[in-house]
Amino acid sequence: MADYDVVIIGAGAAGLTLAHRLGQINDRRDPPLRTAVLEPPPGPHTPPRRTWCFWEAGPGPWDHLLAASWEDLSVIGPDGAEHRSPAGPYAYKMLRSTDVDAHVRAAAGAAVEFRPLFVRDTEDGPEHATVRALAPGGEHLRLTARWVFDSRPPVRPRAVAPACSSTSGDGSSA
């Protein structure tokens, strides 16, 4: 049996939204989905605080956490004049990552566990996926789950410089 039903790697907008939704599902599910949210421990690997902005028509599920909302668009022209127009039926809404994080943690329920770990890699298998991680104290951990959602941005392959040759113009070695 896997350690968890779901492992979420990363506690940014995508990871927190999924954790929040799974917490809501767990309110109606027996047994609940055992969920782990893995994020780097506090320190240099911790992403900076962010704001998340989006367009939405009408009231939404995150409105009680909004830091700001705009219903009009305003553009300053080259002459310095302001041109304003309503954006309805949409509003541009802004959330602060710290507010969303605190809300999701408070509402998550006992089946959602937040773990400060450095994720090394993941591997899919026939019965479960495996997440290899490093604890803040240096302990190597291996977590298994039925499903793993990795919200980290993909790693870009490094450009490889062409091999240098030290030949003279006539093809002989220098």
Mean pLDDT of the chain: 90
43, part of any domain: yes
Whether 65 maps to a domain, the answer reads yes
Domain interval for residue 107: 4-150
Q: Is residue 34 part of a domain?
A: yes
pLDDT tens by residue, 99-120: 999 999 999 999 999 999 999 9
Residue 162 belongs to a domain: no
Contact indicator for 5, 145 with CB cutoff of 8 Å: yes
The answer to whether position 168 is within a domain reads no
- Cα–Cα distance between 7 and 128 in angstroms, integer? 11
Question: Of 61, 46, 36, 59, nearest to 12 (Cα)?
Answer: 46
pLDDT (tens digit per residue) in 77-104? 999 999 999 999 999 999 999 999 999 9
Q: How far is residue 170's CA from residue 93's CA, in Å, rounded to a whole number?
A: 66
Domain count, the chain: 1
Residue 112 and residue 22 in contact, taking contact as beta carbons nearer than 8 Å: yes
DSSP line for 50-101? -EEEEEEES--TTGGG-SEEE-EEEEE-TTS-EEEEE-TTEEEEEEEHHHHH
pTM to 2 decimal places: 0.81
41 is a domain residue? yes
> Greater confidence, 152 or 162?
152
Residue 156 lies in a domain: no
Confidence (pLDDT) at 4: 97
User: What is the domain-level CATH number for residue 18?
Assistant: 3.50.50.60
Residue 161 within a domain: no
